[in-house]
Chains A and B, each alone.
Chain A
Amino acid sequence: DAGITQSPRHKVTETGTPVTLRCHQTENHRYMYWYRQDPGHGLRLIHYSYGVKDTDKGEVSDGYSVSRSKTEDFLLTLESATSSQTSVYFCAIGLGLNEQFFGPGTRLTVL
């Protein structure tokens, strides 16, 4: 299995609070991604990174920010959590047009 972990694995928080999810890889991949998965939507791209300090927005980036200060870590922050951000969040690592490998996911509930 690819060396990719996510923390926390589960989180319950309240509306309006900031939340940070962490993705950590040991594979030294340049590209890292955050997706969210919701019933009826499949996986959708939130943000991605193509190197340290190099990030860009995906399809559903509103309300989220990211940071990548080291190759191995990619952080996703919900600046002020809303109930619509209740979801399962997956981090992935990839290498160009090749397949991507996914972390185990974080289940976030915003009350």
Chain B
Amino acid sequence: RKEVEQDPGPFNVPEGATVAFNCTYSNSASQSFFWYRQDCRKEPKLLMSVYSSGNEDGRFTAQLNRASQYISLLIRDSKLSDSATYLCVVNIGNSGYALNFGKGTSLLVTP
């Protein structure tokens, strides 16, 4: 069973739309949570950390539900430049604090 599961998509949405990505993780001992963004043929880059209280950064809102072991990312007012793959990432705290990655959700924002 994969540690981190997310819908691979692709999600095709028009500019201005709101889109939500979901992710579940299997290890209840997981300690930190992130959304990374990866553009085609590039390295993953941190989009935002995810906190239990929920957090927002501009058009992006992340939520964490520890009881359900569920993480979400909401993107409002989608831009063409939001087209990328979004990686749900969990740190269990073992293996030298290595990250556990979901396979990614592909987003394409169209004009």
A19 contacts partner chain B, Cβ-Cβ < 8 Å: no
B96 pairs with A42, CB closer than 8 A: no
B20 contacts partner chain A, Cβ-Cβ < 8 Å: no
A-B Cβ contacts below 8 A, count: 55
B103 pairs with A41, CB closer than 8 A: yes
* Assembled-state Cα–Cα distance A42/B102 (Å): 6
List residues 47-98 of chain A with CB under 8 A from any CB of chain B.
Answer: 48-50, 56, 58, 90, 92, 94, 96-98
With both beta carbons as reference points, the residue of chain B lying nearest to A90 in the complex is identified as: B43
Contacts of A92 in B (CB 8 A): 99
B43 pairs with A99, CB closer than 8 A: no
A111 contacts partner chain B, Cβ-Cβ < 8 Å: no
B96 pairs with A33, CB closer than 8 A: yes
* The residue from B31, B34, B87, B95 contacting A48, defined by CB atoms under 8 A apart: B95
| Chain A proximity of B102: nearest CB distance (Å) | 6
Chain A facing B: main interface SS: strand
Given contacts A90-B43, A105-B43, whether A100 and B99 have CB atoms under 8 Å apart is: yes
Determine which residue in B34, B102, B103 has the highest number of CB atoms from chain A within 10 A of its CB, and name it. Answer: B103
* Assembled-state Cα–Cα distance A96/B98 (Å): 9
List residues 63-111 of chain B with CB under 8 A from any CB of chain A.
Answer: 87, 91, 93, 95-99, 101-104
| Chain A proximity of B89: nearest CB distance (Å) | 9
With both beta carbons as reference points, the residue of chain B lying nearest to A57 in the complex is identified as: B95
Contacts of B98 in A (CB 8 A): 33, 45, 48, 58
Residues of B in contact with A (beta carbons under 8 Å apart): 4, 31-32, 34, 42-46, 49, 87, 91, 93, 95-99, 101-104
27 A–B pairs (Cβ distance < 8 Å), ordered by A: A31-B97, A33-B98, A33-B99, A41-B103, A42-B4, A42-B87, A42-B101, A42-B103, A42-B104, A43-B99, A44-B101, A48-B95, A48-B98, A58-B95, A58-B98, A90-B43, A96-B97, A97-B91, A97-B93, A97-B97, A99-B46, A99-B49, A100-B99, A102-B44, A104-B42, A105-B42, A105-B43
